[in-house]
Amino acid sequence: MDHVKFEEKPAALSARTALPTDITLLLRCHAEGCFLAAEVLPAIVALREARNREDRLGALAYLEGRWSQAQLQALATDSCFDALRAVSQPSPLAQRAWRYYRAVRNLRDRARRELEAAQSR
Protein backbone atom coordinates (compact mmCIF):
# COMPACT_ATOMS: atom_id res chain seq x y z
CA MET A 1 0.00 0.00 0.00
CA ASP A 2 1.38 3.36 -1.00
CA HIS A 3 1.49 6.04 1.65
CA VAL A 4 0.96 9.62 0.70
CA LYS A 5 3.19 11.99 2.54
CA PHE A 6 1.63 15.37 3.20
CA GLU A 7 3.90 18.30 3.32
CA GLU A 8 3.74 20.42 6.40
CA LYS A 9 2.57 23.98 6.04
CA PRO A 10 5.26 26.60 6.07
CA ALA A 11 5.77 28.13 9.51
CA ALA A 12 4.44 31.46 8.29
CA LEU A 13 1.10 29.92 7.34
CA SER A 14 0.70 27.67 10.35
CA ALA A 15 1.59 30.31 12.91
CA ARG A 16 -1.35 32.32 14.17
CA THR A 17 -1.01 35.85 12.87
CA ALA A 18 -2.63 38.77 14.61
CA LEU A 19 -5.06 40.90 12.68
CA PRO A 20 -4.54 44.65 12.64
CA THR A 21 -6.28 46.39 15.54
CA ASP A 22 -8.69 48.30 13.29
CA ILE A 23 -9.93 45.11 11.63
CA THR A 24 -10.14 43.35 14.98
CA LEU A 25 -12.33 46.14 16.34
CA LEU A 26 -14.56 46.06 13.26
CA LEU A 27 -15.04 42.31 13.64
CA ARG A 28 -15.74 42.55 17.38
CA CYS A 29 -18.25 45.37 16.80
CA HIS A 30 -19.98 43.34 14.14
CA ALA A 31 -20.18 40.27 16.39
CA GLU A 32 -21.48 42.23 19.37
CA GLY A 33 -23.99 44.21 17.32
CA CYS A 34 -25.36 41.06 15.69
CA PHE A 35 -25.64 39.33 19.05
CA LEU A 36 -27.49 42.25 20.60
CA ALA A 37 -29.87 42.54 17.66
CA ALA A 38 -30.50 38.81 17.23
CA GLU A 39 -30.45 37.55 20.82
CA VAL A 40 -30.77 40.28 23.44
CA LEU A 41 -33.32 42.69 21.98
CA PRO A 42 -35.78 39.93 20.97
CA ALA A 43 -35.47 38.45 24.47
CA ILE A 44 -36.30 41.87 25.95
CA VAL A 45 -39.37 42.05 23.70
CA ALA A 46 -40.42 38.57 24.86
CA LEU A 47 -40.05 39.67 28.48
CA ARG A 48 -42.02 42.83 27.85
CA GLU A 49 -44.80 40.91 26.09
CA ALA A 50 -45.03 38.04 28.61
CA ARG A 51 -48.68 37.64 29.61
CA ASN A 52 -48.38 35.61 32.79
CA ARG A 53 -45.92 34.95 35.60
CA GLU A 54 -44.66 31.68 34.12
CA ASP A 55 -43.92 33.25 30.73
CA ARG A 56 -42.28 36.23 32.44
CA LEU A 57 -40.02 34.01 34.58
CA GLY A 58 -39.03 31.95 31.54
CA ALA A 59 -38.26 35.03 29.48
CA LEU A 60 -36.31 36.55 32.36
CA ALA A 61 -34.22 33.40 32.84
CA TYR A 62 -33.40 33.25 29.14
CA LEU A 63 -32.59 36.95 29.04
CA GLU A 64 -30.30 36.64 32.04
CA GLY A 65 -28.11 34.18 30.14
CA ARG A 66 -28.14 36.27 26.97
CA TRP A 67 -27.32 39.44 28.91
CA SER A 68 -24.37 37.75 30.63
CA GLN A 69 -23.04 36.72 27.23
CA ALA A 70 -23.60 40.25 25.93
CA GLN A 71 -21.57 41.66 28.83
CA LEU A 72 -18.67 39.34 27.98
CA GLN A 73 -18.83 40.43 24.35
CA ALA A 74 -18.91 44.07 25.44
CA LEU A 75 -15.72 43.56 27.45
CA ALA A 76 -14.00 42.01 24.44
CA THR A 77 -15.16 44.86 22.17
CA ASP A 78 -14.04 47.50 24.68
CA SER A 79 -10.66 45.78 24.92
CA CYS A 80 -10.26 45.96 21.12
CA PHE A 81 -11.23 49.63 21.21
CA ASP A 82 -8.57 50.31 23.86
CA ALA A 83 -5.98 48.47 21.77
CA LEU A 84 -6.79 50.58 18.72
CA ARG A 85 -6.64 53.79 20.75
CA ALA A 86 -3.13 52.83 21.85
CA VAL A 87 -1.86 52.65 18.25
CA SER A 88 0.38 55.61 17.50
CA GLN A 89 -0.33 55.70 13.75
CA PRO A 90 -3.96 54.60 13.23
CA SER A 91 -4.89 53.53 9.72
CA PRO A 92 -7.59 55.25 7.64
CA LEU A 93 -9.82 52.28 8.50
CA ALA A 94 -9.54 53.19 12.18
CA GLN A 95 -12.04 56.04 11.73
CA ARG A 96 -14.65 53.58 10.46
CA ALA A 97 -13.88 51.21 13.32
CA TRP A 98 -14.38 54.02 15.85
CA ARG A 99 -17.71 54.99 14.25
CA TYR A 100 -18.87 51.37 14.30
CA TYR A 101 -17.79 51.13 17.93
CA ARG A 102 -19.89 54.19 18.82
CA ALA A 103 -22.89 52.66 17.02
CA VAL A 104 -22.52 49.41 18.95
CA ARG A 105 -22.14 51.31 22.22
CA ASN A 106 -25.41 53.11 21.41
CA LEU A 107 -27.11 49.77 20.71
CA ARG A 108 -25.67 48.39 23.95
CA ASP A 109 -27.00 51.40 25.90
CA ARG A 110 -30.42 51.04 24.25
CA ALA A 111 -30.54 47.36 25.22
CA ARG A 112 -29.60 48.23 28.80
CA ARG A 113 -32.34 50.90 29.02
CA GLU A 114 -34.95 48.57 27.54
CA LEU A 115 -33.90 45.79 29.88
CA GLU A 116 -34.24 48.06 32.91
CA ALA A 117 -37.66 49.24 31.72
CA ALA A 118 -38.86 45.67 31.08
CA GLN A 119 -37.66 44.49 34.49
CA SER A 120 -39.45 47.31 36.28
CA ARG A 121 -42.86 46.26 34.91
Per-residue model confidence as pLDDT tens digits over 47-93: 999 999 999 999 999 999 999 999 999 999 999 999 999 988 888 89
Determine, yes or no, domain membership for 2: no
* pTM summary value: 0.81
Give the confidence band of 121 by pLDDT, cuts at 50, 70, 90.
confident
Determine, yes or no, domain membership for 25: yes
Determine, yes or no, domain membership for 36: yes
Per-residue model confidence as pLDDT tens digits over 86-111: 988 888 899 999 999 999 999 999 99
Closest listed residue to residue 100, CA positions, set 29, 27, 22: 29
8 A C-beta contact, residue 106 and residue 33: no
Structural domain that includes position 61: 19-119
Determine, yes or no, domain membership for 52: yes
Q: How many domains does the chain have?
A: 1
